[in-house]
Amino acid sequence: MHPQFDPDGGSARVGPGAGLVRAHIVVMGVSGCGKSAVGERLAQRLGLPLVEGDAFHPPANIAKMRAGLPLTDQDRAGWLARLGQELRNLPEGAVLACSALKRSYRNGLRAAVPELRFVYLALTPEQSLERVATRDGHFYPPSLVASQFEALQDPTGEAGVVAVDGALPLPQVVVQTLSGLARTGLSGFNIP
């Protein structure tokens, strides 16, 4: 199943719902790093629903980004609170695709859901720009890539964070993600 973008901020959960694993995982990183693709594969492998963070941006945020204006902390506050609530509404677990660029954003999500894990898909600015410039039908313009790196506070070393090279082929990213998550001590976590 593929998530559908809902500009009105409606539900954008997909997946089987009967989890093989009870865990809440955020796949994070800058634009173009592969959050949605990795999140979808991870959700399928773990039997968890996928929550596509972009689908929960309010229309004003979408319009601002389409116009080439970066979001502020204030713009993101309501969006992040809504994503935290979405995770709480899925007590059996979920995979969330969300940029979560700043430590304060991640801490807000952690406050909403205990034992939250993050998968950080690392890319260089050049790799991100190339990917964003070549994707079709997304509201996020290449001109905003630099602002993502200005906002990014590298989560490597934070508790419960798995860092993976987002430039690797998708199957390798998924394997490294699963191995890394197993090492974070998730209760009952087994690679299916």
Q: pLDDT by residue (tens digit) across 114-169?
A: 889 999 999 999 998 888 877 666 566 777 888 889 999 999 999 999 999 999 99
**What's the CA gap between 108 and 8, in Å, rounded?**
23
| CA separation for the pair 131, 128 (Å, rounded) | 5
Would 40 be classed as within a structural domain?
yes
What averages of pLDDT result for each successive group of 10 residues across the chain (192 residues)?
31 43 92 93 94 94 88 94 96 96 97 94 92 70 84 94 96 94 73 51
With respect to residue 159, please indicate whether it lies within any of the assigned structural domains.
yes
Coil, strand, or helix at residue 13? Answer: strand
What integer pLDDT is reported at residue 131 of this predicted model?
A: 85
Tell me, yes or no, whether 4 lies in a domain: no
Domain membership flag for residue 11: no
- The verdict on residue 52 lying in a domain is yes
Residues 6+ apart with CB under 8 A from 42: 25, 27, 48, 95, 119, 174, 177, 178
Q: For residue 10, how far is the Cα from the chain centroid?
A: 17
Q: What is the pLDDT of residue 149?
A: 93
- What's the confidence (pLDDT) of residue 143? 76
- Counted domains in the chain: 1
Residue 2 belongs to a domain: no
At 129 the pLDDT is 86
The answer to whether position 105 is within a domain reads yes
* 102 domain-assigned: yes
Range of the domain at 75: 21-183
List of residues 6+ apart from 18 with CB closer than 8 A: 47, 92
Helix (H) or strand (E) holding 120: strand 117-122
Domain CATH number, residue 79 = 3.40.50.300
Query: pTM of the predicted model, to two decimals?
Result: 0.85
